[in-house]
Structure 1
Amino acid sequence: MWYQNLSEWIFGFAFYYPLFMAYLWMVGALYYYISKERKEPLYDDPPVLTEYPFVSVLVPCFNEGANAYETVGALLELNYPNYDIILINDGSTDDTAAIIDDIAAKHVNVKAVQLTSNQGKAMALTVGTMMSSSEYLVCIDGDAVLDPNCITWMMRHFLSGPRVGAVTGNPRIRNRSTLLGKLQVGEFSAVIGLIKRAQRVYGRVFTVSGVVAAFRKSALHQVGYWSTNMVTEDIDISWKMQTHYYDVRYEPNALCWILMPETLKGLWKQRVRWAQGGAEVLFKFIDVFSDVKKRRMWPIYTELVVSIFWAYLMCVIFILWALGKFVDLPTYLQVTSIVPGWNGTLLAVTCLLQFAVSLFIDSRYEPKIRRYYYWMIWYPMLFWMLSVATTVVGLPTAFFKDRNKRATWTSPDRGIHQKERML
């Protein structure tokens, strides 16, 4: 009977899916790098634009008192001739309100907007958009440090055509004093950056980076701005843009230095939110297959569905293995060991190859980034298990959530704050 080979099917898919995706991402990213990226000047030598339209930099803030001066200080030093800065305090409970008022009082191109209660990042961004007089917006988090040439690199895409609705930048980790911090340096290169390059080759980008992204205001208006009930507004706005046939592009030269969690508790909360956000767009945009005009969204939707299925399948494997220690299971359901054999070794080698490719590409932006390669041996053990667990938790959380409830935010774990850019 077919079910007697069930364990072979389970293990086969669990093994071949991540193997296939890793090589798909590597091939796609290398094609992107060879055909586009390597031909361009380095990030500190931005292109000369035909014009420099006015740009508003939106900075939604929630309890960012410790970071506001540093973030705005970097914005005031941008190598772009025509911009202003709008700081939106979203009902912070610390001294954020007083700090951004102080900054705005000292700089004529800085505006401070005060929301009396926590409305969520999506609402803060929408309010900032309404306050701006620009057609172009650059949105960053309140703890991010923008590279001086970031806006110029992003604006070249908008000037290339009216259907460019958004441009996502290249976030770089700056707190790297712990093992979790070092692993995320490789993750943002090998997983996030590599995947965005590959997705640009085969059609659509899964999401802009919420920490650094630029938007065309008229496109935002057409799609209805950011959704206030979605836990990850960046994923949602990316799908809204692309299902309305706007192009979302990736600009690796648009660097932004960010803080990330360096505790397991903070990392868990962040990744559950990411997993829930992915599942929410899964339910919201299920109708993409009913319209052939949206066919370019089909690959990333399918990729999302299969990745969630894979996570649950891995969970089933662990459960069967644990049950087998106490219950006499049928032969076709027995999992004798979860210790990697030859296939696990091949996956590990592939994972290290993926990191090698991505760190080689990203060495354009961080010449010393390849030294973090030696830490990546720990990535599959920790982050693959974390990905499985957060996906299993995130899907039912998204399914049973109150869709009329506004998604507000809490202060995240930003790790150990190091002010130096670790180049």
Structure 2
Amino acid sequence: MANFLFVTSLIVIWIMLLYHMFLMLGGYFHFFRYENVIPEWKKAMKTLPKVSVLIPAHNEAVVIENTLKSMVRLDYPKEKLEVIVINDNSSDATGSIARKIAAQHPFIKVVDTVAPYAGKGKSSALNYGFQASTGEYIIVYDADNTPEPKAVYYLVMGLMNDEKAGAIVGKFRVANAKKSLLTRFINIETITFQWMAQAGRWFWFKMATIPGTNFAIRRSIIEELGGWDEKALSEDTELSIRVYNLGYYIRFFPAAVTWEQEPETWKVWWRQRTRWARGNQYVITKFLLQFFKLQRKAIVFDLIYFFFTYFLFFFGVILSNTIFIVNLFYDLNLTIGIVSLVLWVLAFLLFVTEVFITLSIEKTEMTTENFFIVILMYFSYSQLWIVLVMNALFLEIKRVILKQEIKWYKTERFE
């Protein structure tokens, strides 16, 4: 029995590793191709549409000024742009700071959430802000983001030129990447995720996932879908699946770049990532239970990917590690002991290779320091993710059984 479980866990792990290698190759190919469409697409950009930028903000006094200054620097006609700061039940100076800047720039306005929207989380705030918007396209930025001047222009460019795209997703980079070892880990994680999971899935399958920030979506789609799901902690993933179900795809267009702040302490990181994991687990469960109601069965392929990521893969790692450790103290009569060690070494080398090739896409990240950080990341950060996902699953099961109210954790910002 131990041999069967061990072999099964190794198969699950290697399926994911090889699939990620496949995605990494797709991401690398996409990097060399995504700019090819820009010269032709520019020709259609003579008459630009009205755009509404939504910025949900709950106690964001530390970062909101820099974010709004980046909105002022956007290379997009201000008469065609409205920036809506959604002051969501803030108890700090978020509202007063935003209003001070809005007084100097007519295209910026501040709305304060009221019941039943106030203090319920990002989805609720976005739904409230959407009601105040008038743009043909809706763009979302988190309150800690500083998009590059051309970011909005490129997001709009994608929607204007690709009628099959329900949403356009840009690239985000870590603004505080060199602040600590943790932010260095996160920087590598985000680069890998975007060029592997986003660019790779787009290249091979014409699929990507809406992130929480730096994306544009058609107003008509939000209206048809009835807004954001206020029960979803990962409102971005949940929205993605519903967009696909309408018959659109989501395009990854990394020409649109924003810079965002990431957690600088392990406590903040744990809470933020736990929310992400719980949110994705909610989405997976929600739509797998609605399998026969989904109009586009191709969505199931992506759901299986998330299911493997947040359930099978982590269970496989935990199971294989447990059997391996138990076997050190109690003979389980494993017949593939040496083989398992070889496979583990190969898995480690494959992990380092995948990540470092992905990092090479961002020229500034191909450094000796990052090489050693990737190695350290495998033995620390990646292993901690396993514990986090299991904890998130426990909390989500507990919430469902006890019928607890979903609580939104707002990520702490830093100076």
Runs of 4+ in 1 over 4 A off after TM superposition: 321-326, 334-337, 402-408
Change (3 A) 1:151 1:26: same
1:47 Cα shift?
A: 3.8
Change (3 A) 1:380 1:40: farther
1:208 Cα shift?
A: 1.2
Per-residue displacement from partner, 1:98-127 (whole Å, max 9, x unpaired)? 212222222211111012541211111111
1:322 Cα shift?
A: 5.1
Change (3 A) 1:410 1:391: closer
Note if 1:309 corresponds to 2:312.
yes
* Residue in 1 that maps onto 2:149: 148
Counting only pairs closer than 5 Å after superposition, residues 189-338 of structure 1 correspond to structure 2 as: 189-203=191-205, 205=207, 207-287=209-289, 289-290=291-292, 293-307=295-309, 308-321=311-324, 323=326, 328=330, 330-332=332-334
Partner secondary structure for residue 64 of structure 1: coil
Note if 1:355 corresponds to 2:355.
yes
Note if 1:411 corresponds to 2:407.
no
Per-residue displacement from partner, 1:38-81 (whole Å, max 9, x unpaired)? 53679xxx945142111111111011101111100010110011
1:84 Cα shift?
A: 1.4
Larger mean CA deviation between 303-312 and 73-82 belongs to 303-312
The one-letter amino acid of 1:31's match is F
* Residue in 2 that maps onto 1:373: 370
* Residue in 1 that maps onto 2:344: 344
Larger mean CA deviation between 282-291 and 20-29 belongs to 282-291
The one-letter amino acid of 1:313's match is G
Per-residue displacement from partner, 1:369-418 (whole Å, max 9, x unpaired)? 22353222222112321221222122343344359876553431445x4x
Partner secondary structure for residue 345 of structure 1: helix
* Residue in 1 that maps onto 2:121: 120
Partner secondary structure for residue 253 of structure 1: strand
1:282 Cα shift?
A: 0.9
Change (3 A) 1:120 1:411: closer
* Residue in 2 that maps onto 1:5: 3
Q: Residue 9 of structure 2 contacts residue 319 of structure 2 at CA under 8 Å; is this kept in 1?
A: no
Change (3 A) 1:155 1:324: same
Alignment gaps of 5+ in structure 1 = 418-423
Q: Residue 165 of structure 1 contacts residue 248 of structure 1 at CA under 8 Å; is this kept in 2?
A: yes
The normalised TM-score by structure 2 is 0.88
Question: Residues of 1 paired with 2:327 and 2:355: CA distance?
Answer: 35
Question: Residues of 2 paired with 1:281 and 1:204: CA distance?
Answer: 20
Q: Residue 246 of structure 2 contacts residue 295 of structure 2 at CA under 8 Å; is this kept in 1?
A: no
Question: Residues of 2 paired with 1:111 and 1:157: CA distance?
Answer: 26
Question: Residues of 1 paired with 2:181 and 2:314: CA distance?
Answer: 24
Which residue among 36, 39, 42 is the counterpart of 1:39?
36
Question: Residues of 1 paired with 2:293 and 2:26: CA distance?
Answer: 26
Partner secondary structure for residue 300 of structure 1: helix
* Residue in 2 that maps onto 1:420: none
The normalised TM-score by structure 1 is 0.87
The one-letter amino acid of 2:370's match is Y
What is the root-mean-square deviation of aligned Cα atoms in Å? 2.8
Question: Residues of 1 paired with 2:337 and 2:93: CA distance?
Answer: 56
